[in-house]
Amino acid sequence: MQLKAETRFGVMPNHHVDPIGAIVAPYAALTTGAVLVQVHSNMYLDDHAINGIEKLCVEELQTILGRKADFDLILKHAGNFDTDQFECLKSVVLFEDGLELPVEDSYLQKLANALFLDDVFVFRGPIESCYMLSWRSLKSGSKGMLPHV
C-alpha cells in the first residue's frame, strides 16, 4: 500500500471489531510508522459522513480504511465538496467479509473517481480453512494471499 513513516491514515469507526480491520490497520501502523487517525466516532448518519469528509483535509489523511457501507455514505456526499478537500487522499482500503459478495470493479472505479484516488485496495476474508486473506488493487488486480493470524 506504499505507506511511509508519518503517513496519516484514517480508520472508520469500529474498524477494530472487523476481523480484517483489526489486523491490517495496526499492522500497517506498526510496520511503517504510519499514524492512525479515527475519521469519526460513528458513521451512520449523513452528518457523520460530512464531518468525516471535512476531517480528511484537516488531518491531511492519505488513506482511509473501512467497509463498503462507510464508503457508500461518504460517496453520497463527496460531490458536495470541492476537489481540494481530497487533495491529500491517495488511496482507500475496503474490508470485505468472505461471506459477502465481492465489491464490483465498477464500484471501486466510482470511488476512485469521486475521491480523486490513485488506487483502491480491497482486503477480503478471512478464508477460515487456511486462515488467509486475499487482497487486490483497482490498478494492478489481484495481489495474492496474506496470512490471517
Domain borders along the chain are 8-147
120: confidence class by pLDDT, cuts 50, 70, 90: very high
More confident residue, 129 or 122: 122
**What value does the mean pLDDT take over residues 13-25?**
63
Q: How many CB atoms lie within 10 A of CB 106?
A: 8
Structure pTM? 0.77
CATH architecture, domain defined by 8-147 = 3-Layer(aba) Sandwich (3.40)
Whether the predicted pLDDT of 111 surpasses 90: yes
Mutual orientation of helices 68-78 and 105-115 as an angle, nearest 10°? 40
Q: What percent of the chain has pLDDT over 70?
A: 72
Cell numbers that stand for 114 in this block: 469521486
Smallest Cα–Cα separation from 102: which of 145, 136, 130? 136
Predicted confidence (pLDDT) per residue in 73-108, tens digit? 888 888 888 888 888 889 988 888 777 888 999 999
CA gap 123, 85 in Å, rounded = 26
Q: What percent of the chain has pLDDT over 90?
A: 11
CA gap 92, 12 in Å, rounded = 11
What is the model's pLDDT at position 106?
Answer: 95
What is the model's pLDDT at position 73?
Answer: 86
110: confidence class by pLDDT, cuts 50, 70, 90: very high
Predicted confidence (pLDDT) per residue in 56-82, tens digit? 888 888 888 888 888 888 888 888 888
